[in-house]
Amino acid sequence: MKQIKGFKKDFLWGGAVAANQCEGAWQEGGKGWSVADILQFRNDIPLNKKYNEETSTDYIKEAMQDDKGVFPKRWGIDFYHTYKDDLKLLKGMGLNSFRTSIAWTRIFPNGDELEPNEEGLKFYDNLIDEIIALDMEPVITISHYEMPLNLTLNYTGWYSRELIDFFVRYCEVLFDRYSSKVKYWIVVNQINLIVHESFNHLGIAEDKVENLLEAKYQGVHNEMVASAKATKYAREHYPDLHIGMMFTDAISYPATCKPEDVLANYRRNQMEYFYGDVLMRGEYPGYAFRFFEEKGIHVEFGENDEDILKNTADFMAISYYLTRIADAESVKQKKTAYDNPFIQANAWGWGIDPIGLRTKLNMYWDRYHMPIMIAENGLGHFDEVEKDGSIHDDYRIDYLRDHVEQMREAVLDGVDVFGYFPWGPIDIISCTSSEITKRYGFIYVDMDDYGKGSGKRSIKDSYTWYKKVIASNGEDLS
């Protein structure tokens, strides 16, 4: 009888970032405008209300001309210029893998060009080579909230079917260029986020469509078709590659055991599973068609879409940060899910639930029986630098320890988890709030939300802790 005792010997212990949140250099190397370049930092919004909202064409044009607003993703942490030193610091923890994304706008600045920007490709040649030289496995996300802004202004984001061919061309360029260097690929980051990250993700300006909800589902359909076409290309030309799909865990708990609440929560969760069901099972589930009918949504299928979608992913990647609860009334009122009173939350209202990670990993394994990568996990928190320069972040150690412990329990349950990538191992700009003071890193970056500071990197207590975890392959969590 096979007995599972812990993490595999080749378990991927890494860290994850996104190009638009760390690179900066937004007007260098031939890079074009991206959706991330117009997202402002605002200090007049409560922390628990900070997320990316819907966006209009007028706002986009105003932001492109705005020379007074604060747009932190334009400068990031200057990783574009500091990546060699930053990667060495990360390797100092013992990382054997590193997840980052490629900025679409560095390769196809407008998104619809026929030929890629060679200067952008050369930057990623150097970055990937550096990751490999440090004996880290590169994990590359192809689309991580970096859509060329031109595809919003002169098309309608992912609502426009033309984007399928544009995106597949982009994917083919990357596979052709890096297939001998990069084994693990995530095609689209958190593909299920079409509510709070709808513009950031799908690039649909709300004033360019009549029915925004319908446009979102049409957009994500087109994106899933493009993802499946890219997977087909990779499998036919480079069969040794591992192509993953990713969503953020948004499966909620029923607020009570009242049958109406259980059913409402279950139906809500079905439309969270929807993306994985399509990309890992290869077809639209019946419950999705009922949902569309009830909401008056029409999703247009291309002639060969059903066949294309049969090109399913090799593994699933998830981001896991928080859990929420839902009941019949909240679903009816479109609030859908809300805070769980039985768990604590950080300053941004994100509920901390390590046990939920074990639960969700088992649920996903039971449903898909696909290898699972935890592509993001972490705690956003304010950090304080002591007079001697030290940064004591016991709260982050506690959070990560509890989650690694529950991840290990899931492995002992028989779940095939093969990698763990804490989010922002070096402080980066927050996706949802465009601030750096919501810090996740093991490495502190001396910069404030307005881009001021020395940029100096300093290690936190959690750096030493994670180094010990990796050295023991997850056994020593003390």
Averaged pLDDT of the chain: 96
pLDDT by residue (tens digit) across 283-332?
999 999 999 999 999 999 999 999 999 999 999 999 999 999 999 999 88
* Confidence at residue 111, expressed as pLDDT on a 0 to 100 scale: 98
* Confidence at residue 52, expressed as pLDDT on a 0 to 100 scale: 67
User: Is the model's pLDDT at 218 over the cut of 90?
Assistant: yes
Q: What's the whole-model pTM score? A: 0.96
* Confidence at residue 48, expressed as pLDDT on a 0 to 100 scale: 62
- State how far the Cα of 3 lies from the Cα of 7, in Å rounded to an integer: 12
Whether 6 is in a domain gets the answer no
Read off the amino acid at residue 77. Answer: I
* Confidence at residue 43, expressed as pLDDT on a 0 to 100 scale: 80
Stronger pLDDT, 401 or 197, i.e. the higher one: 401
CATH number at residue 115: 3.20.20.80
Whether 1 is in a domain gets the answer no
Domain count for the chain: 1
Whether 26 is in a domain gets the answer yes
Whether 215 is in a domain gets the answer yes
pLDDT by residue (tens digit) across 24-70?
999 999 999 999 999 999 887 666 665 667 889 999 999 999 988 99
* Confidence at residue 50, expressed as pLDDT on a 0 to 100 scale: 57
pLDDT range class, residue 11, cuts 50, 70, 90:
very high
- Hunting for tokens 């993802």 — which residue is that? 227
Whether 477 is in a domain gets the answer no
Stronger pLDDT, 40 or 131, i.e. the higher one: 131
User: Is the model's pLDDT at 17 over the cut of 90?
Assistant: yes
Tell me which residue range forms the domain holding 289.
12-471
Give the distance, in angstroms, between the CA of residue 310 and the centroid of all CA atoms in the same chain.
24
* Confidence at residue 197, expressed as pLDDT on a 0 to 100 scale: 66
Contact 376, 16 (CB under 8 A): yes
- State how far the Cα of 172 lies from the Cα of 89, in Å rounded to an integer: 32
Residue closest to 53 by CA, chosen among 247, 204, 251, 218? 204
Q: What is the mean pLDDT of residues 248-256?
A: 97
pLDDT by residue (tens digit) across 406-438?
999 999 999 999 999 999 999 999 998 899 999
Cα end-to-end span (Å), the chain: 31
- DSSP collapsed to 3 states, the chain: CCCCCCCCCCCEECCECCHHHHCCCCCCCCCCCEHHHHCCCCCCCCHHHCCCCCCCHHHHHHHHHCCCCCCHHHCCCCHHHHHHHHHHHHHCCCCCEEEEECCHHHHCCCCCCCCCCHHHHHHHHHHHHHHHHCCCEEEEEEECCCCECHHHHCCECECCCHHHHHHHHHHHHHHHHHCCCCCEEEEECCCCCCCCCHHHHHCCCHHHCCCHHHHHHHHHHHHHHHHHHHHHHHHHHCCCCEEEEEEECCCCEECCCCHHHHHHHHHHHHHHHHHHHHHHHCCCCHHHHHHHHHHCCCCCCCCCHHHHCCCCCCEEEEEECCCCEECHHHHHCCCCCECCCCCCECCCCCECCHHHHHHHHHHHHHHHCCCEEEEEECCCECCCCCCCCCCCCHHHHHHHHHHHHHHHHHHHCCCCEEEECCECCECCCCCCCCCCCCECCCEEECCCCCCCCCCCEEECHHHHHHHHHHHCCCCCCC
Whether 2 is in a domain gets the answer no
pLDDT by residue (tens digit) across 325-379?
999 999 888 767 889 999 999 988 889 999 999 999 999 999 999 999 999 999 9
Whether 208 is in a domain gets the answer yes
Residues forming beta bridges with residue 34, ordered by sequence position: 148
Stronger pLDDT, 349 or 244, i.e. the higher one: 244
Pairing of strands 372-377, 417-420: parallel
Other Cβ atoms less than 10 A from the Cβ of 144: the count is 27
* Confidence at residue 5, expressed as pLDDT on a 0 to 100 scale: 81
pLDDT > 70: percent of the chain = 97
pLDDT range class, residue 269, cuts 50, 70, 90:
very high
Whether 3 is in a domain gets the answer no
